Amino acid sequence: MPTAAQRERALRILDALAARFPEAAIELDYHHGEPWQLLVAVVLSAQSTDVGVNKVTPALFAALPDVRAFAAATPQQVEGYIKTLGLFRNKAKSLVGAAQAIVAKHGGQVPRARALLEELPGVGTKSAAVIVANAFGEPAIAVDTHVGRVSKRMGLTANDDPWKVEQDLTALLPKERLLEAHHVLIWHGRRICHARNPACGECPVERMCKKVAVATPTTKLTKPARPAQRARAPRR
Q: What angle do CA 45, 114, 46 make, to 5 degrees?
A: 10
Percent pLDDT > 90 in the chain is 89
Between the two ends of the chain, the Cα-to-Cα distance in Å is 83
What's residue 215's pLDDT?
A: 76
Which domains does the chain carry?
A: 4-23+140-202 (1.10.1670.10), 35-136 (1.10.340.30)
pTM exceeding the 0.85 threshold for the entire prediction? yes
Interval 127-163: pLDDT, tens: 999 999 999 999 999 999 999 999 999 999 999 999 9
Instruction: Pick the closest to residue 40 from 51, 25, 56 (CA basis).
Output: 56
Q: What is the mean pLDDT of each run of 10 residues along the chain (236 residues)?
A: 96 98 97 96 96 98 98 98 97 98 98 98 97 97 97 97 97 98 98 96 96 67 43 39
- Picking from 13, 28, 40, 16, the residue whose alpha carbon sits closest to that of residue 152 is 13
Phi then psi dihedrals of residue 132, to 5 deg: -65, -35
Residues classed as catalytic: 126, 144
Torsion from C-alpha of 9, 13, 16, 17, nearest 10 degrees = -170
At 74-106, the pLDDT tens digits run: 999 999 999 999 999 999 999 999 999 999 999
